[in-house]
Amino acid sequence: MMKGPGIFLAQFLSDRAPLDRFDTACRWAAELDYTGVQVPSWDRRCLDLEKAATSKAYCDELRGTAAAAGVEISELSSHLQGQLVAVHPAYTSMFQAFAPADVQTPEAMSRWGSDQVKACLRASRNLGLTAMPTFSGALMWHTMYPWPQRPAGLVEAGFKELARRWRPLLDLAEELGVDCAFEVHPGEDLHDGASFEAFLDHVDEHPRACLLYDPSHFVLQQLDYLEYIELYHERIRCFHVKDAEFRPNGRTGVYGGYQGWQNRAGRFRSPGDGQVDFTAVFTLLTKYGYEGWATLEWECCFKDAQQGAEEGAPFIAQHLITPPSRAFDDFAGGRVDQAAIRRVLGLP
């Protein structure tokens, strides 16, 4: 069955105790009734990624630290590093904060990001994990709205180049037995089902090109987040429990008018405060046998982080579904009687 409740530590870590160290952050999570922590691999308050990629003993220590606090490590995230695998020059200055100070060009960012993703895959294997949440990066996002008209062949060339950069990483993931779970997300070239399908076409349906499911991003795009599960459930390896709402008006819609989060039509909310039908989401994931983690990713423009964390664990716990061991109407059945079956069918 699905595992949880888990919590993504990235939005909670700070320079103040108890969220300034991995051991105390794990204890904080356990005290809030979380059983797993998704760890941002770029944050040295949690781990030394290079050391984790090369030392099984160090990874055993990390697992032991989490276990002593009462949780387990569910996944290592490489979202920020995956973003840098593909950076359009127009975004260089904005994404420079994701890399070391001496990594300043799109080419250098791509090399550094790719090496970091490889390290995260190796560290995941050393930790005994089977999925790595990440971003795809983007070369085409500035052309998302087709005005001016996109030049013929641009989309094909863009996905071909994105696939060229990711194919070696996916092949390493296959070698290590770890899925790359892309968070389909605005700002990434993989931002909806159609773009994910185009990427799959260019990586030859690679078995390690998988998905992190987060319905909040689909509310903001007005995409059917339930049918998305029906379409892509075979590729879903991670699940962020994050809520959102979309309330358009005469001033703003999907694009938001450059407004701050509280004034946008689409905005993220704490689980239960938005419009996502989580009962339906958990039901469909259970229907299709999802066995990964249900992980709180807290992002809310109205509610304090601590309150969001305190409310998140019980929210997830009450939505977890134990699959039935038998059909609910078994009591009305009986042993197989071939003669009775033939009588019901009107056969001699």
Question: Looking at residue 272, what is its pLDDT?
Answer: 97
Q: Which residues of 115-133 are buried (b: 16+ CB within 10 A; e: fewer)?
A: ebbbbbbbbbbbbebbbbb
Of residues 7 and 323, more confidently modeled: 7
Q: State the average pLDDT over residues 304-324.
A: 97
- 82's tokens: 């995956």
How far apart are alpha carbons 47 and 18 in whole angstroms?
A: 16
Domain boundaries, the chain: 3-344
Query: pTM for the complete prediction?
Result: 0.95
Strand pairing partners for 266? 246
pLDDT tops 80 at residue 21? yes
Average pLDDT over residues 1-12: 97
Confidence of residue 325 (pLDDT cuts 50, 70, 90): confident
Residues of the chain with pLDDT > 70: what percent? 98
Reported confidence tier of residue 331, pLDDT bands at 50, 70, 90: low
Confidence class for position 335, pLDDT limits 50, 70, 90: confident
Nearest to 109 by CA among 128, 81, 76: 81
CB atoms within 10 A of CB 230: 11
Domain 3-344 has CATH 3.30.465.10: no
- Cα–Cα distance for residue pair 203/88, rounded to 1 Å: 21
Rounded CA-CA distance 73/8 in Å is 10
The residue among 122 and 330 whose pLDDT is bigger is: 122
pLDDT band at 336 (very low <50, low <70, confident <90, very high): confident
What per-residue confidence (pLDDT) applies to 337? 86
Share of the chain above pLDDT 90, in %: 95
Average pLDDT over every residue of 101-109: 97
Distances (CA, A) of 282 to 242, 273, 276: 13, 17, 11
Mean pLDDT of 20-31: 98
Q: Are 297 and 240 in contact (CB under 8 A)?
A: yes
